[in-house]
Structure formats: C-alpha cells, structure tokens
Amino acid sequence: MDAQLGPLTLSNVDVDMRIDYRLTRRIEQGSRGDDMLVEGRKSYEFTLKGKASLDKFVEIRKLVETVEGPVFKSVYGECKVVIKSLLYHSSSKEYQIELVEDIA
C-alpha cells in the first residue's frame, strides 16, 4: 500500500496497526475478584515496513529531526503521530518505522 508521512510518500509499504486501550482495575477489600474497566481512551501505534534507497531513508530521518508531529495518512485514516523509532538495513535496503498517535 502507499502511505504518506508528512510531505513524504512511502510506496509499497506494509502497515501494521495496533490499538492499545487504557484499562483500570478496581479491587475492593473483602470482595472476590476485581473489576476491569475500559476507560475509552485508546492509542494507535503503526509499524511501517518497506524498502527504500539510503537517500530516501535519509529524507525520512530528516523529517523526524525537523518536524514535530507529522500527519500519517493510510487506509486506516489520518492522524498526527510522533516517530518512536527508525531502523534501516543497508544490505537489504529494508526499513522499519514505529509511529505512535500524538493524542492532544
């Protein structure tokens, strides 16, 4: 699939989406068990995997260093993100980018 990270278009990228929900646990003294509650807040995390030249990966790295909170657009929708990590394998030209939704 194609995705967009700020002004950069990433072609032929695999995008994994993970949703983490915020949970709370209430334990009352003297009662059996506990109550698990979903508070409703959720956080999206995306892992992007693809191949790119070193020059393209340098563009991605520069985006991370200069822009705070780029917008990520994919088939999953659009959201403001922060970049958690970048990984590049020079021999295979494979990269991996981890994004976390920037909840305002």
DSSP H or E segment with residue 55:
helix 54-66
pLDDT at 31: 65
pLDDT at 104: 61
6 is written with which tokens? 């700020």
pTM score of the predicted model: 0.78
pLDDT at 85: 93
User: How far is the C-alpha of 79 from the C-alpha of 53, rounded, in Å?
Assistant: 26
Supply the DSSP symbol for 7.
T
Binned at pLDDT 50, 70 and 90, residue 99 comes out as: very high
Q: pLDDT tens digits, residue range 7-57?
A: 889 999 999 999 887 777 666 666 666 666 666 667 899 999 999 999 999
Q: Cα-Cα-Cα-Cα dihedral of 82, 84, 88, 93, to 10°? A: -40
Binned at pLDDT 50, 70 and 90, residue 91 comes out as: very high
What does the domain layout of the chain look like in residue ranges? 3-101
User: How far is the C-alpha of 90 from the C-alpha of 104, rounded, in Å?
Assistant: 36
Q: pLDDT tens digits, residue range 56-87?
A: 999 888 887 776 778 999 998 999 998 899 99
User: How far is the C-alpha of 62 from the C-alpha of 52, rounded, in Å?
Assistant: 15
